Amino acid sequence: MRDPVYKYRIVDYDRSVIPNRFLAFLDEGVIDEVDWVARSGRSLGHPGWGWIYHTVLMLLDDDRDNVAIETGTNVGSTAILVAQAIIDSGRKGVLHTIELDPDIHAEALRRFDLAGVSSVIEAHCGDSLKVLPGVIAGVDEIAVAFLDGNHFHNHVVSEFELVVDKMRPDGVIIFDNTGAVGEGEEDPRVNGALRTIIRDHGGNVVNFPFCSWYTPGIAIWQRQPFADMEPPVVGSFIPET
């Protein structure tokens, strides 16, 4: 694996820009990865938090029930932002978030209460590949999915293929840790999974390489930018990085 890169998470910023006060409190005074993992978990941090919040806010339709999906709850930092966007929008919505570890799941539940967002979150504990089919069967469509659990290639692709058929044409799937870190025969992780997804499913991808931390990068996938357009041709590919 390539050496870790931590420099793209910004720590010297005005915490008032964080949309949720509890999360802003958790991030106050952090200076390095040891601090932020201890306080807000393995979350993407600033400026990614604001990007997630505003992206979700702009996807919520006043005329529909808005469903968000997250895999990899961890201690709940990103889920808090997604839920805060739903609350602030005043529109109907719910976030289904899935965490594998029971102890971490319990801590996330505690933090959801402290952050004041529990009312719009349904938290599930278990393997995302086992939990997702039941969650997806109970919803008509998905506005946004944030796939941030297991980062190995096959798992990421499997999660994508579970949610993609329920995505709105203008809905988005978000991926964290998109940088290329695998070398040689190593698993290509999220970066390789995105290449496979574009090759096999088409769609449009925008990658933001200089945010988050190890592995840096956030990407957003959308089937088609306008619902009345024909789907894009499958076979486009992300260039090597």
What is the chain's mean pLDDT, rounded?
A: 94
Q: Is residue 10 part of a domain?
A: no
- CB 121, CB 115: distance < 8 Å: no
**What is residue 67's DSSP assignment?**
E
Check residue 76 and give its pLDDT.
Answer: 98
Q: Indicate the pLDDT class of residue 3, thresholds 50, 70 and 90.
A: confident
Domain enclosing residue 154, as ranges: 50-222
Distance of alpha carbon 4 from alpha carbon 213, whole angstroms? 8
Check residue 231 and give its pLDDT.
Answer: 66
Q: Is residue 8 part of a domain?
A: no
Q: Is residue 160 part of a domain?
A: yes
Distance of alpha carbon 141 from alpha carbon 148, whole angstroms? 20
Q: Is residue 174 part of a domain?
A: yes
Check residue 237 and give its pLDDT.
Answer: 52
State the total domains in the chain: 1
- CB 76, CB 111: distance < 8 Å: yes
Percent of the chain with pLDDT over 70: 95
Q: What is the pLDDT of residues 8-54, one digit of tens each?
A: 999 999 999 999 999 999 999 999 999 999 999 999 999 999 999 99
Can you state the angle between helices 153-163 and 189-201, rounded to 10 degrees?
40
Check residue 240 and give its pLDDT.
Answer: 56
- In this predicted structure, the answer to whether residue 241 has a pLDDT above a threshold of 60 is no
Q: Indicate the pLDDT class of residue 225, thresholds 50, 70 and 90.
A: confident
In the numeric block, which tokens belong to residue 174? 């978000």
Q: What count of residues does the chain have?
A: 241
Q: Is residue 110 part of a domain?
A: yes
Distance of alpha carbon 177 from alpha carbon 151, whole angstroms? 8
Percent of the chain with pLDDT over 90: 87
Q: Is residue 169 part of a domain?
A: yes
Q: Indicate the pLDDT class of residue 227, thresholds 50, 70 and 90.
A: confident
Location of structure tokens 């978990």:
41
- In this predicted structure, the answer to whether residue 139 has a pLDDT above a threshold of 80 is yes
Q: Is residue 84 part of a domain?
A: yes
Distance of alpha carbon 154 from alpha carbon 188, whole angstroms? 10
182 or 153, which is more confident: 153
Distance of alpha carbon 116 from alpha carbon 231, whole angstroms? 39
Is residue 70 within a helix (H) or strand (E), and if so which, with residue range?
Answer: strand 66-71
CATH number of the domain bearing residue 100: 3.40.50.150
What is the DSSP track for 124-160?
A: EES-HHHHHHHHHHT-S-EEEEEE-S--SHHHHHHHH
- CB 97, CB 73: distance < 8 Å: yes
Q: Is residue 44 part of a domain?
A: no
Distance of alpha carbon 183 from alpha carbon 175, whole angstroms? 20
CA distances (Å), origin 125, targets 13, 97, 193:
34, 9, 24
Question: What pTM did the predictor assign?
Answer: 0.93
